[in-house]
Structure 1
């Protein structure tokens, strides 16, 4: 393992940021620390980087106990959300900064900078100032600067959070390709579930200072450990005593038998190729609003208009988690009235 976190705890006054956290992050993989704001993920990243000291526990990086090592001796590259560029320096000088601090020979520095600028597709902007770059280009420059010193670990703290959705998607695809070319151990913090599922080899879900689950994206999505992971890693809805993915609910327009619960379509929302239906279910065993997802063609075939009678059940073989309470509002679909 490249990074081993053992029993790390951290408080800020009375606030518990991390509570006895232990996790191992594999060498050469791209790991996402995923969780809601205030959950502890950025604190953990800063402790790994040496920018915060834990109250208890230890950090091991590449076989070395780094708990008490200063940040400059951990051979860690760090990229913040807001670039932290040197505004008066050119793109090339920004990338070279860490090498200059280490008194790397000029020829070696120039060669490394040229290599990295080609890698991040900024070679034509080498002599520009950061203010002359777009947000996405500045973030690529920041990544090149972090990689210049050949760190054993690259840490990214919500690196794309300040960018618009289109640029953010382009950059995360680029980051995945970059990591495949340079398989440095990478840990990045995000609260964007889609970003983590799309980019990471492994995801560590953190909530209220504790690790909820660790695993590959498919494993966490298909086999969530608890209600929180189910609701946080994707849309989920309550059907009976279980949390189910809306796309895993089977919907019929006729009564097929006792396995199905009867319901009435309250609203239907078309979002691109899919239709999201808000169905009120009232039965002896369960009463509540259930969210279902169907393709546009399926919705038309079932005539999922407002007021339509339907019957629901969890699709055979699909994943669910037992629950005693409905999901909170942030995890529910934002429905509006549309005509299908």
Structure 2
């Protein structure tokens, strides 16, 4: 009995992502009967290897699920005005339901202007102020993919949200703020903490549900966690120092082998030792990160339906 009580549950993001993709593929087939093929355009400026890999993965997933996709690759020298013209063209196309601008953009390009130029109805990243407002007011719309993935993990794992004390560590527009709003919409009692929060551990120790999205490896330590809490680790940090790796994963032969091969390992924002204290947690890798592309696909299909006045509710 004691072992069962103290063994935390691993929340498998890869399995949940596969489940969502299968559902999306089913929705795409239903739309095909009506003569509708959801379409996604991805804009990748310049040649950033990490971004290229990520974008190719998105395009590949579109193909697997039956979603039409286009990858546009303007040169790094493109101006803000030229980018705005490209977005305007995509906004006007009926065969494109979703527009995604891969970030970061070159420094000379006005990122904020571009994100706001995307039609809110095609904003599959959920970054447009109109979609932020829809999220805040609980209206149907397109929500940021990573926070939406967090909610899917919790719901599909049958973990309670309503009435829980939820603490979000991080206040970015991409993850922290929308995650807090979604948890609030799901009737959690939400506290948002950040780099200026005094005595952060006082808040995190009260969390039934703790979301770490601050971008610092192992920032949330075991003594900051309430025993039995659900830990959602959004962080993806590459650690390249051997001593740090040993500090995070003492005696872990598999991690040591990974470090020896790649000269780095991935660590989340929650210290691995904290997972042993939890009731359930998302691993890194294989947790929240696995949901992002799945939720992008889901948003693309949702956009296709909303643009045509079709219901987005499951039968």
Q: Normalised by the size of structure 1, how large is the TM-score?
A: 0.30
More helix by share: 2
Structure number with higher strand proportion: 1
Greater gyration radius: 1
Could you say which structure has the greater relative contact order, defined with CA pairs below 8 angstroms and 6 or more residues apart? 2
Normalization by structure 2: what TM-score?
0.32
